[in-house]
Structure 1
Amino acid sequence: MSFSLLWIPVTLAASLLQTARNLTQRSLTEVIGVVGATQVRFLFGLPFALLFLVLVCLASGALPPMPDLRAFGFAVFGALTQILATALMLAAMRERSFAVTTAYTKTEPVQVALFGAALLGDALGWPKFAAIVVATAGVVLMSWKPGDKLSAAGMRPAALGIGAGAAFALSAIGFRGAIQTLPEGHFLMRATTILALGLALQTLLLTLYMLVANRPALILSLRNWRRSLTAGFLGAAASQCWFLGFSLTTAANVRTLALVEVPLAQIASRRIFSEGTSWRELLGMAMIVAGVGALLLLAI
């Protein structure tokens, strides 16, 4: 049985689950703050990742593969860069609007493609690279506010936002590298093993940090355990789908297809709030659809 195209539905599922997780985390932010809500994704997601791993082991009748030093190094790299990416993104959002910061961070697919080609040897021809650039340019066009100019004062948030996109790209490369370099196991086993390992590393690091620097937020997240568990489950489920995608195709393919959530979210918000859509937003959505469509045709 061929699983060559399975990355497409699992990536779409990851996008939907991530959107639901973001909504849940947004509600938690009002109660436990940004740092606390960010940490919930890891602390309360880890039990579900371990449960996923147990279920995969029971279904396959095999134990998880033991990561060698190279796979463990990739996992550590992915875990650390994902934490760094989140911190840079939040820092950028303190200084610029959500829309502009999103435009900066959504340069990630182009950076993923470049890093993947350089670090993992992922195939990257000019047609695929052109499709990624078109889709990413569409995101930037939709997110950018008319009249915004990059002045000297705006260099810091721009650097933070683009740095966040680079860190997210490196995180995707790190986790895909860890999955690829595991010595054995079916793609589902390898993806789930690295998910559990990555969340364990992130939970350990962030919990230690919060015990030292922000203990009240950690305590509040435990008190709000019901919503925290929901966010943790959605985060773990989304990550499970992302990692499955990474195990089946290049990180650039996965991250570019995930851009479909941008026009879908835009359409939904327009319908809910009965707001009009500008020509710039329509053109941006068309560019995203064209870029993603071209990527899928090249991948099939």
Structure 2
Amino acid sequence: MELWIPITIAAAFLQNLRSALQKHLQGSLGTRGASFVRFGYGFPLAIFYVLVLRLAVGLPFPALNWTFAFWAVIGGLAQIFATMLLVYLFSLRNFAVGTAYSKTEPVQAAIFGFVLLGERITFGAVVAIIVGVVGVMLISLARAPLSWRNILAALTSRTALIGIASGAVFGISAVAYRSASLSLQGPGPIMDAAVTLACVTTFQTAFMLVWMGWKDKREIVDVLKSWRSSSLVGIAGVLGSACWFTAMSLQQVAYVRALGQIELVFTFMASWFLFHERVNRTEAAGCLLIVCGIFGLLFL
């Protein structure tokens, strides 16, 4: 098994854990505060990770450059706004469906990867990705009779548009992060990914602190008061990001994000067991299609 596969599965699990914790916090901190904790409580761990790789493992620091800085800023800003869209989405639909809407990302990531990086994917992988996206759309239609009219309504609803926009901006951030990591040309993908993660999360924390201080300083106080639960979001977020960054340094973004749709399997488990939200047969069928798409991606 190629190394990027288990790393991506771990990233998907950690991302689902982080999203579940953010949904829990959204009610008390609001969209901006619940989004900030992902970065604010995560960046010290990201810096510590880099220091461990340097001091304990002996990996040298890669040389930073302006290309890296450009893509890191683009990716960091895109991830901030994608996260805010996703957290807001949780207040409109249940946890599983809210996450499902954002999972059109692999197709959008494939398009951005082709346009920005010139990356191409095989026909079999395209079919597997489409199968997974069909599963996502089936989940989004699970609460209404299946018809062309309902499909159009589902795709143009406010919830769907926010979810698709979230997926698009996450796709941009993923391609930007891969570009940033590859531009370092350092000792290897692990250190390159770690440095990218540390720089990006530090920038995101500074950016959001300035934004929150300008808009409403009370948000910062609320975030500090909720440090016990917020720190868990930060830990899960930075560990998940470390896995994503490493996987995307090893493999094309479209493949990594398509395999990452396995997160929906974890999402349905969290939706059922943690939030006690009911999952119907159509949503289960959509989840099965996503799993089929994942297996197709791995073996086609």
Shift of 1:149: 5.6
2:27 matched residue in structure 1: 30
- Structure 2 Cα separation of the partners of residues 60 and 25 of structure 1: 33
Is the CA contact (8 Å cut-off) linking 2:12 and 2:260 kept in structure 1?
A: yes
The residue identity in structure 1 corresponding to 2:26 is T
Is 88-97 or 226-235 further displaced after alignment? 88-97
C-alpha distance in structure 2 between counterparts of 1:264 and 1:81, whole Å: 24
Of residues 245, 261, 264, the one that matches 2:263 is 261
CA, structure 1 residues 48+8, in 2 after alignment: closer, same or farther (shift >3 Å)? same
CA distance in 2, matches of 1:5, 1:189: 19
More displaced 10-residue stretch of structure 1: 133-142 or 200-209: 133-142
State the partner residue of 2:8: 11
Residues 38 and 234 of structure 2 are in contact (CA less than 8 Å); yes or no, is this contact kept in structure 1? Answer: yes
Amino acid at match of 1:165: G
Length, aligned pairs only: 294
Asked whether the 8 Å contact 1:77–1:171 carries over to 2, the reply is yes
1:226 is aligned to 2:218:
no
- TM-score, normalised relative to structure 2: 0.88
What is the correspondence of 1:93-242 to structure 2 with a 5 Å cutoff? 101-144=98-141, 145-147=143-145, 148=150, 150-151=152-153, 154-242=156-244
| Aligned-residue offset at 1:101 | 4.5
- Is contact 1:68–1:183 with CA below 8 Å preserved after alignment? no
Deviation, 1:133, is 0.9
The runs of 5 or more residues in structure 1 that have no matched partner are none
> 1:73 and 1:240 mapped to 2: Cα distance?
20
Residue equivalent to 2:58: 61
Identity of aligned residues (%): 37
Alignment counterpart, residue 285 of structure 1, candidates 280, 284, 287: 287
TM-score when normalising by structure 1: 0.88
Q: What is the deviation of 1:249?
A: 0.5
| Residue 231 to residue 156, structure 1, CA distance change in 2 (3 Å) | closer
Q: Give 1:83's aligned amino acid.
A: I
Shift, 1:85, TM fit: 1.5
The 10-residue stretch of structure 1 (155-164 or 247-256) with the greater mean CA deviation from structure 2: 155-164
